[in-house]
Structure 1
Amino acid sequence: MKMRRRKKSWRELNGRQKVSLLVFAAGQLALLTAALMDLRKRPAEQINGSKGAWAAACFVNYVGPIAYFVFGRKK
């Protein structure tokens, strides 16, 4: 039988875990911001699909913004 791990609170994390979490969060926010800014300034004719759908997809952690940069923009 598997035992489920209890999620740790912020206070229970050690310094290295806190720094790692903050680095990953900053990376996610940077990707999200870059994707949304690019989506906003790019004309609809240069986007594969609808801008609204890509904007919503960008909020899927890491996968959304990366997918937008790889598949969402026309070359």
Structure 2
Amino acid sequence: MAKKKWADLTSGQRKAMIALGTVEVALAGAAYIDLIRRPADQVNGSKGKWAAIIAINIVGPITYFTRGRKAPLGA
């Protein structure tokens, strides 16, 4: 099966791809901003490791938000 080109996609498929891409970029941006602003002692593991994990498609930022941050004290 040959790879589809952008021109071969229906308008609905194009809109879905744009929406998914937008969500992915927004999540990654938010995760990187949080990682930069968060003190190292509030991150599970090294910041370098989490920066690399965030770069993994949509799964990386979600993983960072669910497992990479430590809960604030008293929460």
1:61-72 alignment runs, 5 A limit: 61-72=57-68
CA shift digits 1:44-71 (9 cap, x unpaired): 0000000000000001011110110001
For structure 2, which runs of at least 5 residues remain unmatched after alignment?
none
CA distance in 2, matches of 1:18, 1:6: 18
Runs of 4+ off more than 3 Å? none
Map 1:1-75 to 2 at 5 A.
Answer: 5-75=1-71
- Counterpart code for 1:9: K
**Count of matched residue pairs:** 71
Q: Deviations over 1:5-26 (max 9, x none)?
A: 2210001111001000000000
**Percentage of pairs with the same residue:** 46
Q: Which residue identity does 1:25 align to in structure 2? A: G
Provide TM-score, normalisation by structure 1: 0.92
Please, which runs of 5 or more residues in structure 1 have no aligned partner?
Answer: none
Corresponding letter in the other structure for 1:32:
A
Residue 7 of structure 2 aligns to which amino acid in structure 1?
R
